[in-house]
Amino acid sequence: MQPSLEKLRKFFRLEHENKYQNTAIIGGLAKMLDYWEGEARAEGITEEVIQAVVSRLRSYEKLSPDGRAESLKGLWKRIAETYPEAGQKPKQVQAPRPQPQQPSTPLSEPKPENEGSSPPKPAEKTQPQQYQQKPRQNPPPRSEAVAGAKHSQTPAALNAKLTVLQGVGPKNAESLEKLGMQTLGDMLYYFPRRYEDYSQLKPIQSLMYNDVVTVLGTIQSVHNRPIRGGKQSIIEVVIGDGTGSIRLSYFNQPWLMNRFKQGDAISVSGKIDQYLGRLVMNSPDWEPVEVENLHTNRIVPIYSLTERITQNWLRKQMNQVVTYWAPAVVDALPDNIKRAAQLVSIGEALTQIHFPDSQARLKLARERLGFDEIFYLQMGVMRQKRDWRSVEGRRFPVSDEWLGARLGTLPFTLTSAQQTALADIRADFDSGKPMNRLVQGDVGSGKTVVAALGASIVVSGGAQAAIMAPTSILAEQHYRNFINLLAGDGGTMQQSEIRLLVGSTTESEKEAIRQGLQDGSIKIVIGTHAVIEPDVLFKDLQFVVIDEQHRFGVEQRAELRSKGTNPHLLVMTATPIPRSLALTVFGDLDISVIDVMPEGRQPITTHVLRPQERERAYTLVRAQIKNGSQAFIVYPLIDESEKIDARAAVDDFDTLSKEVFPDLKLGLLHGRMKPAEKDEVMVKFRDKEVDILVSTTVIEVGVDVPNSTVMLIEGADRFGLAQLHQLRGRVGRGSVQSTCLLIPTHEDATENERLQAMANTNDGFVLADLDLKLRGPGEFLGTRQAGYATTLKMANITDVKLIEKAREQAQALFERDPELSQPEHALLAEAFERFWSGGKGDVS
């Protein structure tokens, strides 16, 4: 029996079980007609049967329960007359599995392609009635329908190559492959990048400059006017609608002379411009009004293109595939989740995301597709968290007296936020499960102290700790802090038990460190990626600290974890993580926030200056240096570029040294320098042998120079907020009032939203949320995590409401069936594995 008829039988039986209360489908049995008609026609069900079903179900709500029973029994008897198999007693009803017949309309044998002409039009009647512009009510969420990921019940035809489409030959298929489309299924999930809403028609007399509209009119005249000595031409078309007329201009498209005929009625869509005081439209989309308005008079999808592919042609191909196949994919998402989250079916979502009938329907489609992505992401994150907690972790309990004695040796008092973070870490150590915690806090908030105290707890229990930093400078900075905090006056450790291992460490010293780690005489090692090299072995590694963790790849972090047996893991970042990211890609980590700055630290004053005010900035720099302070001048580029209009460090360094600050000592730091050269410059700056450090963003992480009080950032509009905030945190490390000056590339960028936000607040979390909205998640994440967050096609990573909804449903399902092993979750398990395929470990 055809799947659409099987689906009917399924819901008729459910309605019988519900005593004909019209509850088999949310909103009433008639709601299934929204998608059933299309499915039935696609499967070749006779029109007589389709109309019989439509008429009976539309009147079903008005009948009494007895009348409904008679109506459905009579309808099924009518269906069985045409399809005898429908009259047979069904075997156990399973979820319908579409097996569509080879359609004669949208699919055909590949045909030779004339590459010199426009792609051939698809066969007639490939643009179904359901896309005609007519008012339709938004359907309520349905409990049946389709899925966002391929799985074993996906129709085999969706794996067909694109050349089965009429109008797609080998060369066009090759072009579509560059866009990531190789099969019909790929086309379903190649979503528009934006939309133009041409659904509001206007009479010509009401048009205004800058309107984006659709106009219907009759062609009054067509002229071809040569320009530039006859080398180019403009086709000028005047159309009128009885209220007025408007001129359309098409540049260098002479073939249009044969397409536009005086007296023809056409629909044009585009932006209203002005020329010599008259309103005009330049190169608007157009169609004869008899043709269904796929490109005009509706909300029009705009796709990313490549060579040989035009919007109109691609929309026609998309329409063939979406119309026919969107209803044919089986939904992996369980019905109860769709009901609870109030989601439309995937068939509805795939249809409306490509050819939306209204902004409301488009919003529902976005929500369904976005929900699926976040849901799968959440399930993966929860599985990782469970896997991490499923193993035993060694306990490291300490008494209040012991911890109080350690805190008493510190030269300062911990802030309330530091105390809370330390309490979290202490609880993790005593939980019997491996710690998996993220400590986030602004530059200078005191994360290192908390990590050092954590390391001392582990060392007191007889084990070892490793601290990995992304740069040698930062590793050396941590090393000095650990020595002062743990091996200084009143400390419990010897300096020889804490060692620094970086690329510049001599080979003999490296060998001694490796030996000390292996025999246990070295308790804490601090270093860069040298810490995870294969020949570095530990006697008993139980605590791993990773600073600026998003700068390390997942493989590197996993390698460091593997150095011990289920070690406790603490990761730290000075980049505040927005709540939406904390709920998703960092969802497997427990999070501690250090949001209170140490006493005596003053907020940094930030000013945005126009480029012509640069001399004011130089004057401030001179004044600060005269008072004994130091300064940074940061650039977005190393060298000048023809492609990027921005100042560069190397080029400006000579000018600054010889002309602007000839009496001061300047140092240059950038990413192309060798590590040893970078370290040499940074050491000179730290030791006050350099007054001004001219640098690129390599100083974003790991430079602690309390004597620096002013930072000048050139081309500030070219940086993200996260970067600007990190850079600004390099000054103000001492008790002296510090200043950050932002100079954009051009004067008109002075009002840049990011720059103004920097001037208005020092709150890293406010800036992080804004940066996420403006620039996406790449600013916050490394390769692995950014891969998941930025390849989400529909989910908006800033949509906390949707994220929390998906998280709630994922948690509920995870509690019931964490392995997705129950039969009703088989398709979901396949979709989940496909979403996470290619992953190489933990997200965080």
Confidence of residue 147 (pLDDT cuts 50, 70, 90): very low
- For the cut 50, the answer to whether the pLDDT of residue 529 exceeds it is yes
Strand order in the sheet with 630-634: 605-608, 739-743, 708-714, 630-634, 692-695, 666-669
Confidence of residue 456 (pLDDT cuts 50, 70, 90): very high
| pLDDT at res. 226 | 87
- What is the mean predicted confidence (pLDDT) over 364-386? 87
| pLDDT at res. 458 | 95
| pLDDT at res. 294 | 58
Q: Distance between CA atoms of 596 and 713, rounded to whole angstroms?
A: 26
The encoded tokens of residue 171 equal 């060369």
| pLDDT at res. 328 | 82
What does the DSSP assignment read for 222-247? EEEEEETTTTEEEEEEEEE-SS-EEE
Radius of gyration, alpha carbons of the chain: 33
Predicted TM-score (pTM) of the model is 0.60
Q: Distance between CA atoms of 66 and 390, rounded to whole angstroms?
A: 56
Name which of 147-156, 208-217, 265-274, 713-722 the model is least confident about: 147-156
Q: Are 247 and 238 in contact (CB under 8 A)?
A: yes
**Which one, of 648, 829, 843, lies nearest residue 745 by Cα?**
648
| pLDDT at res. 793 | 75
Q: Are 710 and 620 in contact (CB under 8 A)?
A: yes
Confidence of residue 519 (pLDDT cuts 50, 70, 90): very high
- What is the mean predicted confidence (pLDDT) over 301-313? 85
- What is the mean predicted confidence (pLDDT) over 260-272? 88
Share of the chain above pLDDT 90, in %: 25
Q: Distance between CA atoms of 356 and 192, rounded to whole angstroms?
A: 11
Name which of 39-43, 191-195, 687-691, 735-739 the model is least confident about: 39-43
Of 605-609, 701-705, 726-730, where does the model show the most confidence? Answer: 605-609
| pLDDT at res. 703 | 61
Beta strand pairing status for 436-441 and 278-282? unpaired
491 by DSSP, 3-state: which? coil
CA 513-515-521 angle, 5° bins: 80
- For the cut 70, the answer to whether the pLDDT of residue 162 exceeds it is yes
| pLDDT at res. 557 | 59
| pLDDT at res. 95 | 32
CA 273-274-279 angle, 5° bins: 85
State the average pLDDT for the chain: 80
- For the cut 90, the answer to whether the pLDDT of residue 280 exceeds it is yes
Q: Distance between CA atoms of 727 and 248, rounded to whole angstroms?
A: 51
- For the cut 90, the answer to whether the pLDDT of residue 565 exceeds it is no
Instruction: List, in order, residues 6 or more apart from 784 with CB less than 8 Å away.
Output: 553, 554, 840, 841, 843
| pLDDT at res. 306 | 84
| pLDDT at res. 523 | 95
| pLDDT at res. 640 | 57
Confidence of residue 79 (pLDDT cuts 50, 70, 90): confident
- For the cut 70, the answer to whether the pLDDT of residue 658 exceeds it is yes
CA atoms within 13 Å, Cβ hemisphere of 670: 17
Question: For the segment 781-813, what is each residue's pLDDT rounded down to a tens digit?
Answer: 543 444 444 456 777 776 778 888 888 898 899
- For the cut 50, the answer to whether the pLDDT of residue 123 exceeds it is no
Burial class (CB in 10 A: 0-12, 13-18, 19+), 348: buried
- What is the mean predicted confidence (pLDDT) over 116-129? 34
Q: Are 656 and 631 in contact (CB under 8 A)?
A: no
Which residues pair with residue 250 across a beta bridge?
A: 235
Q: Distance between CA atoms of 195 and 214, rounded to whole angstroms?
A: 14
Of 4-18, 165-179, 751-765, where does the model show the most confidence? Answer: 165-179
Question: For the segment 376-408, what is each residue's pLDDT rounded down to a tens digit?
Answer: 888 888 887 787 778 888 999 999 999 998 898
Q: Distance between CA atoms of 162 and 184, rounded to whole angstroms?
A: 6
User: Of all helices (H) and strands (E), which one includes residue 542?
Assistant: strand 541-547
Which residues pair with residue 418 across a beta bridge?
A: none
